[in-house]
Amino acid sequence: MSRVEESIEVNVPVRTAYNQWTQFESFPQFMTGVESITQIDDTHNHWVTSVGGVKREFDTEITEQTPDERIVWTTVAGETKQHGVVTFQSLDATTTRVTTQIEWQPEGLAEKVGDAIGVDDHRVKADMKKFKEFIESRGVETGSWRGDVD
C-alpha cells in the first residue's frame, strides 16, 4: 500500500471547512482527476476518476464521521483500493488545519511508476491548495451534512 499525508491551513472557521468537505459532489471543482462524485446516501458515494489517462469507477463508504473533527472512508466496490481520513483542527476562530491521509494500492505500471516518483503526493498537495482557494474565495460552504457515523 502507498500512503500520502498533507495538511493545509484554511482561513475559515472549522465548521465552514468541515461543512464544505461533506459536499462530495463539489470535489471535481478542486480535485484534479475527479470527474464526478454521486452521493448515493448519507454514507455511500460513487466516484468517477481519470488520472493519467486511466479512467476508474469505484464506490466508497464513510465508516466514521464526527462533525467538525473527522471523516473516515474506504472503498467498497470497484477497481480502486483506497482508505483515508480527513481531520479538521480549529486553530482559532477563523483558521482551520485540514489534514488528509490516504492509503491506496497502485494498480498497473503507470500507477506504480507515478507512485514511485511522487506524482500522487504532488497531486494531493495541489488539490489541498485548490480546496483552500475554493473555500476561502467563497467564504461560506456550498452546503453541509452534520450527521454522525460510528
The mean pLDDT value of the chain amounts to 92
What is the distance between the alpha carbons of residues 26 and 111, in angstroms, rounded to a whole number? 25
Q: Is 57 exposed, middle or buried (0-12, 13-18, 19+ CB in 10 A)?
A: middle
pLDDT tens string 82-96: 999 999 999 999 999
| Residue 70: per-residue pLDDT | 98
The partner residues of 48 in beta bridges, in order of sequence, read: 36, 57
- Nearest CA to 45 among 56, 34, 37, 33? 37
Helices (H) and strands (E) in the chain, counts: 3, 7
pLDDT tens string 20-43: 999 999 999 999 999 999 999 999
Domains of the chain, CATH where assigned: 2-138 (3.30.530.20)
What is the distance between the alpha carbons of residues 95 and 111, in angstroms, rounded to a whole number? 35
Phi, psi at residue 24, to the nearest 5°? -55, -35
pLDDT tens string 104-132: 887 777 777 776 777 788 889 999 999 99
pLDDT tens string 44-82: 999 999 877 788 899 999 999 999 999 999 999 997 889
What is the distance between the alpha carbons of residues 49 and 34, in angstroms, rounded to a whole number? 4
What is the distance between the alpha carbons of residues 5 and 82, in angstroms, rounded to a whole number? 14
What cell does 20 get?
Answer: 464544505
